Amino acid sequence: MARFYFDSGDRNKIFEDEIGVECAGLEEVRQAGFEGLIDLTRESLKSVDGQRLFVEVRDENGDKILRLSLSLQVKLMKQI
């Protein structure tokens, strides 16, 4: 088991993870990052076109090893 750090944020704000999570292998890192991104989205996604949210994973040496991100597109299709 190694400790990984899950930084997260959007265009304007980066939240640096100081606690970290113990994961056994890349699959667990990916799963933890994915679940973290879902929670971040639920809490932080606003109805803003072009909003981006991400989770970026560092290992104990500070090397970036994985980035998960998503962005929102809001497009008006018809005036009502």
Any idea what the Cα angle at residue 32 is, between residues 47 and 69, rounded to 5°? 35
Tokens of 73: 């597109």
DSSP label at residue 78: S
The single residue among 12, 24, 43, 62 that binds another protein, judged by CB under 8 A, is 43
The residue (of 19 and 77) whose beta carbon lies closer to another protein is: 19
The single residue among 30, 36, 51, 72 that binds another protein, judged by CB under 8 A, is 36
Neighbours of 65 (CB within 10 A): 15
Binding footprint of another protein on the chain (CB under 8 A): 6, 8, 15, 17-21, 32-33, 35-36, 38-40, 43, 55
